[in-house]
Amino acid sequence: MSSYLSFDIAHLRAYYQQGTLRPSELVREVYERIAQNGVTPVWIHLPDRKEAVRRALELEHDPASRALPLYGIPFAVKDNIDVAGAPTTAGCPKYAYQPQVSATVVRRLVEAGALFIGKTNLDQFATGLVGQRSPYGGCASVFNPRYISGGSSSGSAVAVARGEVSFSLGTDTAGSGRVPAAFNNLIGLKPTRGALSTAGVVPACRTLDCVTVFTHTAADADLVYQTAAGFDAADPYSRRPGPGDGAAPWLRGAFRFGVPKPSQWEFFGDDGARDLYAQSIERLKSLGGEMVEIDYAPFLAAAQLLYAGPWVAERLTAIQAFAEKYASEIHPVVRGIILGGASHSAVNAFDAQYKLAALRAATLDEWRKMDVMLLPTTGTIYTRAEVEADPVRLNSKLGHYTNFVNLLDLAAVALPAGFRQNGLPFGVTLIADAWTERALLALTDRMHRALGGRLGGTEAQVEETPALSVTPAATRCVEVAVVGAHLSGQPLNSQLTERGARLVRTTRTAPGYRLYALKETLPPNPGPAKPGLVRDATFTGPGIELEVWAVPEDAFGSFVALVPAPLGIGSATIEDGSSVKCFICEQYAIAGSLEITQHGGWRGWLRSRAQPAA
């Protein structure tokens, strides 16, 4: 078993398919690794090994289970998320209770074949970004025991980084699903609020909380997300995306990424982090991104509202009865933060909502400049001793680039971005509109592979794992091929660009197509000349040049409504054999029209018209 270096999902699925590994054997290996690394402080609750093996045997003895997407994949759960049969402590032994049913996300993962291993440590009541505020002990970065692991989802991140499980669940209100990823060289997916159900999760700030996913690769995070996501009537904050929500045409073509103006960079004296951030900017440029400078001020102002504003009162609301009766059982730093929520009034709450609305409007001006934002996940990292000596102020610094994301209803993915000279990891975060998490993961995968290197703290390498394939579904767009007046630089191209469409590629149709300049649009008729594309199964030609554009789903209808007869939108076959939505022409309209197939496309014909007669 020691030869199985990588616990990423792709490797484990390959082992199972090859017959070189069974789930029960894997569980035994998991427990051996945990024993070698030490149960505490990462794990709060581990089921009996025999019970875990028994569940794995049940899975492998069921032939139908082999088709499940997460068959035999081990995972950990942050101990503020319910798992039936395991106590939930939220990092506070006195608070512990025994849930009868699992949280919705856990149930969906188990039904998909995933193997629950145990409950992991956290900053108590999910209050903190440091991973040190727990009676079960403070976790450390897998790269140096003197440094913090990040929190509050500390144990969940370390369990993955140590190669004990393939993925883990955390939560994120202020950055808890991202900061531990940065400090442990992992992918940290913080999806849209309401995309993953919070039913069965001990709330921190119920209106902002997200269930998050830690993995070694973006492809693994995408698989776990697709498996666990979906509307849940048991969660009043669960949401469904509408048509066009999260449209990311930028993923299919050129994209602009925003970075703060250099005067707004804040690394708290960490020059190594500054250099690695600059390298990440260059890396994203090399992948086709255009860097644009933005004003980070409104985002930072929103971030500062999270703990300075009345959202702290939500933390008290979640455990008020317990906090009033058992205040002495709460970690002193956590107690000070949570009980401080009592000082806020309804007036404070409304005033903060007004400020947030104004800041959100200001950030929209910045979003018009960019498609995605690239930020440091944190400006720096601290030792455990430093955090112990100055817990609140240093925690606040760690939230400098994270605290605004849930308040502004954005999606984010944290990813590795290299190592400082002292061996400590650095991470960056890609951020975009709500419901763009799958598009962000696709871009994350490209950045991660461009960086290369090890997975978490293991010896396995990114290059050994399969890339995440990009599909139009991930962008919430419809791909439309245009052949004439809608081509780049042509008179009607603005009908695409004003709807946020992006050019994906230039290609050609399959051979069996003819192109005509429609008689009714040729001079002396007013308006731009228009082509008619017609399929002819008896014809073998050069193929017709076309452009494929990604059109946001919610803009597709208004675009189609502009298409006049005899044109329409149908499907066409392109030279690689695939099918795409495309402008087509009714057969009757070609009578008397000028065939221009021999020119290879609309631009070729226009060039021929511009040339002087011989």
Q: In what order do the strands lie in the sheet containing 594-595?
A: 531-535, 513-517, 594-595
Asked whether the beta carbons of 7 and 70 are under 8 A apart, the reply is no
Predicted confidence at residue 6, as pLDDT, reads: 80
Helix (H, G, I), strand (E, B) or coil at 74: strand
Q: Where do you find CATH 3.90.1300.10 in the chain?
A: 9-230+271-471
Q: What is the CATH number of domain 476-610?
A: 3.10.490.10
**pLDDT band for position 2 (cuts 50, 70, 90):** very low
User: Does 166 score more than 80 pLDDT?
Assistant: yes
User: Does 436 score more than 80 pLDDT?
Assistant: yes
Predicted confidence at residue 308, as pLDDT, reads: 84
In 3D space, the residue among 107, 127, 140, 215 whose CA is nearest the CA of residue 172 turns out to be 127
What superfamily would CATH give domain 9-230+271-471?
Amidase signature (AS) domain (3.90.1300.10)
**pLDDT band for position 179 (cuts 50, 70, 90):** very high
**pLDDT band for position 610 (cuts 50, 70, 90):** confident
Mean pLDDT of 555-569: 94
Helix (H, G, I), strand (E, B) or coil at 38: coil
Q: Which residues are catalytic?
A: 78, 152, 176
Asked whether the beta carbons of 228 and 108 are under 8 A apart, the reply is yes
Alpha-carbon distance of 308 to 312, in angstroms, equals 8
* Residue in this structure with the two tokens 């909380």, named with its chain if needed: 209
Alpha-carbon distance of 4 to 8, in angstroms, equals 10
Predicted confidence at residue 614, as pLDDT, reads: 43
Predicted confidence at residue 612, as pLDDT, reads: 57
**Mean confidence (pLDDT) of the chain:** 95
Model confidence over 181-199: pLDDT tens digits?
A: 999 999 999 999 999 999 9
User: Does 228 score more than 80 pLDDT?
Assistant: yes
Model confidence over 300-334: pLDDT tens digits?
A: 999 999 988 899 999 999 999 999 999 999 999 99
User: Does 1 score more than 70 pLDDT?
Assistant: no
Model confidence over 333-367: pLDDT tens digits?
A: 999 999 999 999 999 999 999 999 999 999 999 99
Sign of CA dihedral 294, 299, 304, 309: positive
Q: Give the highest mean pLDDT range of 151-165, 337-351, 584-598.
A: 151-165
Mean pLDDT of 46-71: 96
| Percent of the chain predicted with pLDDT > 90 | 92
Mean pLDDT of 115-135: 98
Asked whether the beta carbons of 82 and 99 are under 8 A apart, the reply is yes
- Supply 235's token pair: 């969660």
Which helix (H) or strand (E) segment is 154 a member of? helix 154-161
In 3D space, the residue among 583, 560, 581 whose CA is nearest the CA of residue 480 turns out to be 581
Mean pLDDT of 576-597: 93
In 3D space, the residue among 510, 526, 531 whose CA is nearest the CA of residue 602 turns out to be 531
**pLDDT band for position 613 (cuts 50, 70, 90):** very low
Q: Where do you find CATH 3.10.490.10 in the chain?
A: 476-610
Helix (H, G, I), strand (E, B) or coil at 137: coil
Asked whether the whole model's pTM tops 0.85, one would answer yes
Q: What is the DSSP string of 481-497?
A: EE-STTSTTSTTTHHHH
Alpha-carbon distance of 114 to 13, in angstroms, equals 12
**pLDDT band for position 3 (cuts 50, 70, 90):** very low
Model confidence over 500-552: pLDDT tens digits?
A: 999 999 999 999 999 999 987 666 766 677 899 999 989 999 999 999 999 99
User: Does 132 score more than 90 pLDDT?
Assistant: yes
